[in-house]
Amino acid sequence: MFEVGAWSDAVAALVAISFFSFLAGLVLRKWPEKIREYVEDIDGSVLFLSREAHRAMIDVCGRALILISVATLLAATFIV
């Protein structure tokens, strides 16, 4: 039976996804140089991307994660 005002598992999952994607997007946008320094040793993208292109990619990913956060919150409001 559906209870009025009770969150479904889907809404809770969407809120969690929104929260974590917002935090990740915020970190990417706030400290792009630290992220670049950490990631360039791991993924090897420094071989085929310039520093400017790598920083632009980090910025776009940060913006996309914040946009995903907003989209999941909107989806959660439609489910409730």
pLDDT tens, 43-78? 777 788 888 888 899 999 999 999 999 999 999 888
> pTM to 2 decimals?
0.80
Q: What is the sign, positive or negative, of the torsion defined by CA atoms of 71, 74, 76, 78?
A: negative
CA-nearest of 69, 37, 68, 74 to 54 is: 37
**CB count in 10 Å sphere of residue 21:** 19
Mean pLDDT of 15-42: 91
d(CA 74, CA 27): 22
Q: Provide the residue count of the chain.
A: 80
d(CA 59, CA 32): 7
